[in-house]
Structure formats: structure tokens, C-alpha cells
Amino acid sequence: MPIPVERIRRVVSLRDVVQPFDAVRLGYDRIGSRYREWSGTGPVRLQWVARLLDELRPGSVILDLGCGPGEPATRLLSERHRVIGVDASFVQLSLARKAAPAAMLVQADMTRFALRNSTVDAVASFYALGHVPSQLHAPLFASIANWLRPGGVLVTSTPVGAGDGIESDWLGVDMFFGGIGPQATRNAVNAAGLRIEAFEAVDEDEGDGHIVRFNWLIARKPNKE
């Protein structure tokens, strides 16, 4: 006897069967340019882009993890440097192609991305680590440490919350969020062999009076002795 469709819906919802990466990828494909319109003009990210630019010699190689629509960060970084932008969402990458035509753009999962060790001068990741499942944060910091050249720098925002979950109706879609919180983030960065140079809690107005906090981080791979 066939199972009534209503019963199937109750037993299996989309949230139960979709992997976090696919939820993020499909979500950002559906969000399209709404994310850029909502977040593109915030001042905080610009300050951290400027801090990263201060660290680098012209022509440096920067890996931009979760580059999204590329506006403004990938665009500004690629004006003076060679940028590899990695993102899950084809739609976001299509927007980044227009914003930062000089950047090399790759559709991939940053937690499974493969790059030779010691090949990039900097890793940037703005507002993207909060979509990474909690158990993958520490391995991702370890990969970043491997990808950086000695003396290379990581600049990123990290989520303040710990745990994994789906938020309903985030910019109109069900969106996956994951984090490990500030102390575990510091521990994971240290364990990866990176030296933390800045770790600052920064509050931001999302534009509608709703304040969100991220921990912004600068960490460096030590030069060889």
C-alpha cells in the first residue's frame, strides 16, 4: 500500500535530507543579488579589507574563501593583487565575475578545497565561516595554515555562536549556520600553527537596527626559523 504523501512530508523534510553545503549552495543561488544589495555597503568589512591590503606587497596571491558576489571585497583585493575566489554558489560567482573580472573564480566547497601547501600570501574570508559546519572549523583553519606561505596572513570574520542549525526565512531561504564560538576558534587557530595578531568583537547594524556581532581575526603563519 503506498504511503500517503502527507505522511512522507511529516517524516522527511528538506532539512533532514539536504547536506549543509548543498543548503548553502542552493540557498545562495536562490538569494541571488539580494545578498549583495543587503550587505554590500557595510563599513566594517571595508576596514578589514584595508587592514589586509596594508599587509601585502603588490601582486600578492590572495585566496578569498566564500567570495560571494565579490562586492566590495573581491573587487578591491583584485585591483592590486591576484585573487582566487572560491564559492559554493554559481549564481554568486556569476555576480563576482562582473564585480572582479580579474579574479580567478572557482566553484568549490572551501572545506574540501585542494591547493598546494605554501602557495598563497593571504587568505581572506568575510562572513562565510558562519556557514561552515562546526566540526569542520578546526580542519579548515589547519588547511588555511597549510595553504599560506610562511609569513602569510589570514583575515576573517568568525561567528560568535556555537552549534549548527538551519535558520528559516534568512533573506527568503532556509539557510545553514555553524560555529564554534570565540574560545574554540582561538584554540583551533593556535592549534593550526597560526599566531593570532588581532581578535576583536565588532558589532554591526544590519541596516534595520538589528545588531550582529562577529569576531574579526588576523592571524599569521610564522616565518621559518
Ligand X SMILES: C[S@@+](CC[C@H](N)C(=O)[O-])C[C@H]1O[C@@H](n2cnc3c(N)ncnc32)[C@H](O)[C@@H]1O
Interaction site with ligand X (CB under 6 A): 21, 24, 28, 39, 45, 66-68, 73, 86-89, 92, 109-111, 126-128, 131-132
Pick between residue 12 and residue 108 the one whose CB is nearest to ligand X.
Answer: 108
Q: What count of Cα atoms within 13 Å lies in the side-chain half-sphere of residue 73? A: 32
Q: Smallest distance, Å, CB 165 to ligand X?
A: 15
Q: Which residues pair with 91 in a beta bridge?
A: none
> Strands 82-87 and 61-65, how do they pair?
parallel
Pick between residue 214 and residue 219 the one whose CB is nearest to ligand X.
Answer: 214
Q: Compute the CA torsion angle 152, 157, 160, 164 (nearest 10 deg).
A: -90
What residues contact residue 14 under an 8 Å CB cut-off, 6+ apart?
Answer: 174
Q: Smallest distance, Å, CB 24 to ligand X?
A: 5
Q: Smallest distance, Å, CB 89 to ligand X?
A: 4
Q: Smallest distance, Å, CB 126 to ligand X?
A: 3
Pick between residue 10 and residue 143 the one whose CB is nearest to ligand X.
Answer: 143
Pick between residue 82 and residue 225 the one whose CB is nearest to ligand X.
Answer: 82
Pick between residue 70 and residue 152 the one whose CB is nearest to ligand X.
Answer: 70
- Residue 39 near residue 171 (C-beta atoms within 8 A): no
Q: Smallest distance, Å, CB 201 to ligand X?
A: 18
Q: CA angle 221-215-57, nearest 5°?
A: 40
